[in-house]
């Protein structure tokens, strides 16, 4: 393959236990193949990471993905928070709002395909060199026309999860909306960890009792916090906005988008 082509793509390789590069279990292999199949189903959208091709290398499955030069949204935000990046590219409030709207547009598309992401967070959104946000990491994504109930226990992104997901293992597009609200919180805190001052036990207790667990992030104004973030965190999933409505709300809050 030509060098300039190699430079424009990212190759993700799952290695076997016999490889000198590392080890992986059979469950890891199955999960990786499932993610490949999910990526094929997802298809193409400007705000969703694109799968270019699948192949194998020395017997291992490989996904050839669209390359995002800036890496994850979380890392992008944190490098500015810690003053490690070119300050000429420091994100403005408009840019942060635009990232949020781009993610919401990607989620509109996924919902139209009957998909529930289940792990929407800044760490699972990537940023291209021209500052386009794209939803990525479909390892937990499932087809669910109305809802998906998780049947197996495992590591879960607790502080991004809606109450019904934590308590009932129930995932819908509206639980993705809750997670999107947390992603907005990450955006306007420049990549801080949500509810970082709460232990897992404290977080679960507050969540189950209906106490607000997310304070207003330092860069968000009252309207953004009250008119969008808190709407995403309503306990009744039916009271949360749709992703289409979120796109419209962000257009109102950031008129220049």
Q: In the structure, what pLDDT confidence band is assigned to residue 22 with cuts at 50, 70 and 90?
A: very low
Q: Are 195 and 214 in contact (CB under 8 A)?
A: yes
Does residue 34 sit in the same domain as residue 78? no
Give the DSSP per-residue string, the chain: --HHHHTTEEEEEPPPTTSSS----HHHHHHHHHHHHHHHHH--BTTBPPEEEEEEETTEEEEEEE--TT-BHHHHHHHHHTT-S-GGGPPPHHHHHHHHHHHHHHHHHHHHTTEE-S--SGGGEEE-TT--EEE---SS-EE-SS-EE--S-----GGGS-HHHHHH-EE-HHHHHHHHHHHHHHHTTTSPPTTTTS-HHHHHHHHHHT----PPPTT--HHHIIIIIHHHT-SSGGGSPPHHHHHHHHHHHSTT-
pLDDT of residue 88: 66
The yes-or-no verdict on residue 16 having pLDDT over 50 is: no
Entry pTM: 0.81
Single residue among 66, 91, 108 that ends a domain in this structure: 66
Does residue 97 sit in the same domain as residue 224? yes
pLDDT of residue 234: 97
Does residue 176 sit in the same domain as residue 93? yes
* Number of domains observed in the structure of the chain: 2
Higher pLDDT, 16 or 119: 119
Does residue 130 sit in the same domain as residue 240? yes
- Residue 81 sits at the vertex; the CA angle it makes with 78 and 87, to the nearest 5 degrees, is 105
Does residue 129 sit in the same domain as residue 95? yes
Does 119 qualify as catalytic in the annotation? yes
CA neighbor of 137 nearest in space, from 158, 150, 119: 119
The yes-or-no verdict on residue 247 having pLDDT over 70 is: yes
Single residue among 50, 66, 82 that ends a domain in this structure: 66
How large is the average pLDDT for residues 54-77? 81
Does residue 178 sit in the same domain as residue 112? yes
Does residue 112 sit in the same domain as residue 208? yes
Does residue 239 sit in the same domain as residue 191? yes
pLDDT, tens digit, 9 for 90 and up, residues 91-138: 899 999 999 999 999 999 999 999 999 999 999 999 999 999 999 876
CATH number at residue 34: 3.30.200.20
Does residue 112 sit in the same domain as residue 136? yes
Range of the domain at 57: 3-66
Q: Which residue out of 2, 28, 86, 119 is catalytically annotated?
A: 119
CATH number at residue 121: 1.10.510.10
Single residue among 66, 81, 103 that ends a domain in this structure: 66
Does residue 159 sit in the same domain as residue 44? no
Q: In the structure, what pLDDT confidence band is assigned to residue 229 with cuts at 50, 70 and 90?
A: very high
Does residue 154 sit in the same domain as residue 40? no
Over the range 152-185, which residues count as b (16 or more CB within 10 Å of their CB) and which as e?
eeeeebebbbbbbbbeeebbbbbbbbbbbbbbbb
Q: Which residue has the tokens 């049947």?
A: 151
Q: In the structure, what pLDDT confidence band is assigned to residue 162 with cuts at 50, 70 and 90?
A: very high
Does residue 41 sit in the same domain as residue 75? no
């Amino acid at each position: 393959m030509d060098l300039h082509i190699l430079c424009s793509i990212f190759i993700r390789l799952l290695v076997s236990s016999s490889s000198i590069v590392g080890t992986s279990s059979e469950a890891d292999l199955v999960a990786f193949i499932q993610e490949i199949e999910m990526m094929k189903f997802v298809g193409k959208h400007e705000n969703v990471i694109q799968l270019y091709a699948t192949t194998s290398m020395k017997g291992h499955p490989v996904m050839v993905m669209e390359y995002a030069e800036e890496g994850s949204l979380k890392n992008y935000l944190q490098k500015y928070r810690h003053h490690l990046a070119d300050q000429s590219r420091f994100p403005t409030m408009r840019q942060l709002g635009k990232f949020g709207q781009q993610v919401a547009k990607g989620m509109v598309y996924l919902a139209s395909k009957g998909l529930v992401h289940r792990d929407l967070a800044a760490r699972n959104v990537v940023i291209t060199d021209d500052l386009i946000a794209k939803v990525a990491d479909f390892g937990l994504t499932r087809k669910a026309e109305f809802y998906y109930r998780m049947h197996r226990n495992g590591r879960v992104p607790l502080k991004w999860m809606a109450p019904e997901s934590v308590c009932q293992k129930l995932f819908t597009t509206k639980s993705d909306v809750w997670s999107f609200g947390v992603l907005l919180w990450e955006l306007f805190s420049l990549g801080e960890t949500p509810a970082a001052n709460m232990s897992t036990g404290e977080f679960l207790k507050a969540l189950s009792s209906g106490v607000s667990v997310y304070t207003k992030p330092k860069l968000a104004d009252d309207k953004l916090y009250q008119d969008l973030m808190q709407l995403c965190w309503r306990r009744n999933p039916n009271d949360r906005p749709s992703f289409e409505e979120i796109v419209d709300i962000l257009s109102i809050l950031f008129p220049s988008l």
